[in-house]
Amino acid sequence: MATVFKKPHALKDLSMHYCPGCTHGVIHRLVAEVIDELGIEGSTIGVSPVGCTYNNYEYFNCDMQQAAHGRAPAVATGIKRVFPENTVFTYQGDGDLAAIGTAEIVHAAARGEKITTIFVNNAIYGMTGGQMAPTTLLGQVTTTTPFGRSIEANGFPINVSEMLSTLEGAVFVERVSVHDIKNIMNAKRAIKKAFQVQMKGLGFSIVEILSTCPTNWGLHPVDSMKWLEQNMLPKYPLGNFKGKDLEV
Amino acid sequence: MGQKKLMKGNEAIAEGALRAGCRHYFGYPITPQTEISHYMAKKMPGLKGTFIQAESEIAAINMVYGAAGAGARAMTSSSSPGISLKQEGISYMAGAELPGVIVNIVRSGPGLGGIQPAQSDYFQAVKGGGHGDYKLVVLAPSTVQELYELTIEAFNIADRYRILTMILGDGIIGQMMEPVELKDDEEVQVIEKPWATTGSGMTREHNTITSIYIQPEVLEKHNLKLQAKYKAIEENEVRVESYNCENADIILTAYGSVARIVKNVIKMAAKEGIKVGLIRPITLFPFPKAEFEKYAEVPKAFLSVEMSAGQMVEDVRLCVNGKRNVYFYGRMGGMVPTQIEILNNIKEILAKEGK
Amino acid sequence: MGKVTFEEDRCKGCELCTTVCPKKIVIMRTEKINKKGFHPAGVDDMDKCTGCAFCATICPDCVIEVER
């Protein structure tokens, strides 16, 4: 018998602090597996955000920089301009990327910075206690929308992938999910392609990954996966928005 | 050997940075410093360097963070309102111990203010406009030659101590043109950075750049380390010019453009038999405390002249420590104090102090 | 023919692995409490394991190693 599945080398042998059932753990592993498969751990530099994964510089085995809230694409730009041959990625949540960091992600994409962004969208702010995110759904109850998000009080959620795909510098834009096995495998394929797009020097790549937040959704991890499927997929359709046919 | 070139202050800064080996500049247009960006935009491509006009001053300082964390000499420049935007990034760089150079060509405020010169960002630069216990090394050049030389020195200091170094100029000095001597072999220190995120190459433990330490015991230790660094800088990096202070009737303190005006006042006052001295801090942090302590009991009084409501004067008072009165004369809003105004103020003070 | 090993003290009891096993052999060991204070997941009917690795794929904490 041979080992067919074990923790990837690019992920440290540490217990991560995320909540039970939080799919950040799955996504970290997928990114690490891709780094292993592409053989780029020694040349990768990642940028940690502010949010639940603020300290994922402790979990990835490559060089990492921790960035101010929302600024990861700017920090990544600085790193990539110094080391254009290295692989540089940012890992950001929906507050980091779509609220405070909107200017930075739009302009890094518009400039066609050859970096890869892993954008984890769980429609809520986790670390700070379940507040509304730019991607919170209409009607969704959060600690700052206790009566449910309403158009009048809080406006509409943002479809980040669709928005960024209008920028010519963004050459690979795909939205995936991790709510079941089939989708997890597909998410890994997209993440791998996004990194390969960078390695080929083609331009800015981003994978938006629909993810769960059992603690702040107030649901059991198993029910959270179902909630994601039933509620998030209609608003955030999965698929490739740009770069499906890019040769990597 | 070198050359002598007539240069605008802002351009001299950019040229100094390039000669110091800076190959990554990130900026955003704002008057009165945008010539720095223009110069870098022209020169960087030929040097295979990076010039980015960022989407904001916030993005620019974070690009400096990334590049500096990767071990490169990186720089940004702005003017007062843009420097306000950068405060978060400055605090982060201080916490992460990242070297870098940031230029503030000060304009009048507060708010959008005006585009004429001021010195009202002293508190922001020296006492910390960003959050937390941190310091920047702050250099205050007074001539275009000094702008050029101190920019080169700023990169050396930054790398030696892993600290952000600020060139605090103003709209006069940024815009004026003076001859600058450019040497071909400027003193550029090359300092190893084994802590930088260069890609581990699988040959070493991975490097991390961060300013967050969740456990209070650990964060206190980190802060004590930072404080020790600032103490070492206070002991070793003071730069100051004292002029005509022995037996002075009154000693003026001023920095940057205002110091030049004061030097002319000294000549004017001498003609009227008044001996005026000048202590010109060149480093605002570290402040030249020892120089003030040396002369604290020499004159009848001290007078701080600034283009502000009175900011450096507070540090002068702390240094003089009650031994003499410390007066203040200033103009705001972009108005520049004239020699006559300053001289009249000197006479008023000396009359009050019973000369 | 497959075999799965659970590093029980890493498990946070989220139960996601129990929902994806095609042979339905992944269970929560409710009689045990691990170092984190959770009931860890595990497999008793190992001869039914096909080594598909679905459980390991959905696990957020790298608890499971799979051999085939």
- Cα distance between residue C54 and residue C42, in whole Å: 14
The dihedral through the CA atoms of C8, C10, C15, C20 has a sign that is negative
**Encoded amino acid at A79, one letter:** I
**Encoded amino acid at B263, one letter:** K
Which residue on chain A is closest to B54 by alpha carbon? Answer: A107
Tell me phi and psi for residue A214, to 5 degrees: -55, -45
On whether the CB atoms of residues A49 and A93 are closer than 8 A, the answer is: yes
Enumerate the β-bridge partners of residue B285.
B138
pLDDT cut 90: percent of chain A above it: 100
Q: How many CB pairs under 8 A join A and B?
A: 134
C-alpha dist (Å) from residue B238 to B193, B231, B254, B287, B290: 25, 11, 16, 7, 9
Going by C-alpha positions, the residue among A60, A29, A17 that lies closest to residue C56 is: A29
Going by C-alpha positions, the residue among A119, A171, A108, A66 that lies closest to residue B26 is: A108
Give the list of residues 6+ apart from residue B245 with CB closer than 8 angstroms, or none: B251, B277, B278, B279, B295, B298, B299
Q: How long, in residues, is chain A?
A: 248
Measured between CB atoms, which of C3, C14, C65 is closest to A6?
C65
Measured between CB atoms, which of A41, A55, A83 is closest to B198?
A83
Q: What is the dihedral of CA A33, A35, A36, A37, to 10 degrees?
A: 80
Among A5, A7, A29, A188, which would you mutate to test the C interface (most chain C Cβ atoms within 10 Å of its Cβ)?
A: A5
Q: Which residue has the tokens 């909107």?
A: A102
- Cα distance between residue A77 and residue A75, in whole Å: 5
- Cα distance between residue A179 and residue B303, in whole Å: 70
How much is the average pLDDT of A165-193? 98
Q: Residue B27: what pLDDT?
A: 97
Within a domain: residue A119? yes
How would you classify residue A60: left for phi > 0, otherwise alpha for psi between -120 and 50, otherwise beta? Answer: beta
Contact flag for C and B (3+ C-beta pairs < 8 Å): no
pLDDT at residue A224 is higher than 80:
yes
pTM for this model (two decimals)? 0.95
On whether the CB atoms of residues C64 and C6 are closer than 8 A, the answer is: yes
Q: Residue B354: what pLDDT?
A: 83
pLDDT cut 70: percent of chain A above it: 100
**Structural domain total, chain A:** 1
- Judged by CB atoms closer than 8 Å, whether chains meet at A78 and B96 is answered as no
CATH number at residue A31: 3.40.50.970
B301-306 and B326-330 as β-strands: parallel, antiparallel, unpaired? parallel
**Dmax of chain A from CA atoms?**
60
Enumerate the β-bridge partners of residue A90.
A47, A117
Q: Residue B187: what pLDDT?
A: 77
Q: How far is C40 from chain A (nearest CA, A)?
A: 11
How does pLDDT run across A34-67, given as a tens digit for each residue?
A: 999 999 999 999 999 999 999 999 999 999 999 9
For the domain made up of B2-236, the CATH class stated in words is alpha beta
- Judged by CB atoms closer than 8 Å, whether chains meet at A225 and C60 is answered as no
C-alpha dist (Å) from residue C68 to A1, A26, A182, C20, C21: 5, 22, 20, 18, 15
Contact flag for A and B (3+ C-beta pairs < 8 Å): yes
| Chains with ≥3 CB–CB distances under 8 Å to A | B, C
- Judged by CB atoms closer than 8 Å, whether chains meet at C19 and A29 is answered as no
On whether the CB atoms of residues B278 and B350 are closer than 8 A, the answer is: no
Q: Residue A163: what pLDDT?
A: 98
Tell me phi and psi for residue A169, to 5 degrees: -70, -20
Q: Residue C27: what pLDDT?
A: 98
C-alpha dist (Å) from residue A22 to A219, A231, B11, B80, B143: 11, 17, 52, 43, 59
Which residue on chain A is closest to B96 by alpha carbon? Answer: A66
How much is the average pLDDT of C24-28? 98
Residue C4's CB is within 10 A of a number of other CB atoms, namely: 25
Within a domain: residue A11? no
- Residue A70: both structure tokens together: 């929302």
Within a domain: residue A167? yes
B215 interfaces chain A, CB cutoff of 8 Å: no
Q: Which residue has the tokens 């190992």?
A: C46
- The C-alpha R_g of chain A, in whole angstroms, comes to 17
C-alpha dist (Å) from residue B40 to A199, B48, B89, C35: 28, 11, 22, 58
- Residue A219: both structure tokens together: 């649901």
- Residue A226: both structure tokens together: 């179902």
CATH of domain B241-352: 3.40.50.920
Among C16, C20, C23, C66, which would you mutate to test the A interface (most chain A Cβ atoms within 10 Å of its Cβ)?
A: C16
- Judged by CB atoms closer than 8 Å, whether chains meet at B62 and A54 is answered as no
Within a domain: residue A1? no
Please, what's the b/e burial string for B221-244 (b: 16 or more CB within 10 A of its CB; e: otherwise)? Answer: eeeeebeebbeebbeebbbbbbbb
Within a domain: residue A54? yes
Q: Which residue has the tokens 């010169």?
A: B117
A 171-190 → B contacts, CB under 8 A: none
Which residue on chain B is closest to A11 by alpha carbon? Answer: B206
- Cβ contacts (< 8 Å) between A75 and chain B: which residues? 62-63, 65-66, 69
- Cβ contacts (< 8 Å) between C39 and chain A: which residues? none
Which residue on chain C is closest to A11 by alpha carbon? Answer: C62
Among B47, B53, B55, which would you mutate to test the A interface (most chain A Cβ atoms within 10 Å of its Cβ)?
A: B55
- Judged by CB atoms closer than 8 Å, whether chains meet at B89 and A55 is answered as no
Please, what's the b/e burial string for B197-214 (b: 16 or more CB within 10 A of its CB; e: otherwise)? Answer: bbbbeeeeebbbbbbeee
| Chains with ≥3 CB–CB distances under 8 Å to C | A
For chain A, the residues whose C-beta falls within 8 A of a C-beta of chain C are 1-7, 11, 15-16, 18-26, 29, 180-181, 184-185, 214, 220-222, 225
Going by C-alpha positions, the residue among A45, A29, A7 that lies closest to residue A198 is: A45
Per DSSP, B82 falls in state: H
How does pLDDT run across A162-175, given as a tens digit for each residue?
A: 999 999 999 999 99
Q: Residue B1: what pLDDT?
A: 64
Q: What are the structural domains, with CATH classification, of chain C?
A: 3-67 (3.30.70.20)
Tell me phi and psi for residue A121, to 5 degrees: -110, 105
Q: Residue B355: what pLDDT?
A: 58
C-alpha dist (Å) from residue A14 to A7, A9, A10, B241, C10: 10, 12, 12, 55, 9
- Residue A227: both structure tokens together: 């909630």
Which residue on chain C is closest to A223 by alpha carbon? Answer: C16
pLDDT string in tens for chain B (355-residue length):
689 999 999 999 999 999 999 999 999 999 999 999 999 999 999 999 999 999 999 999 999 999 999 999 999 999 999 999 999 999 999 999 999 999 999 999 999 999 999 999 999 999 989 999 999 999 999 999 999 999 999 999 999 999 999 999 999 999 999 999 998 877 788 899 999 999 999 999 999 999 999 999 999 999 999 999 999 999 999 999 999 999 999 999 999 999 999 999 999 999 999 999 999 999 999 999 999 999 999 999 999 999 999 999 999 999 999 999 999 999 999 999 999 999 999 999 999 998 5
* Residue ranges making up the domain that contains A62: 24-242
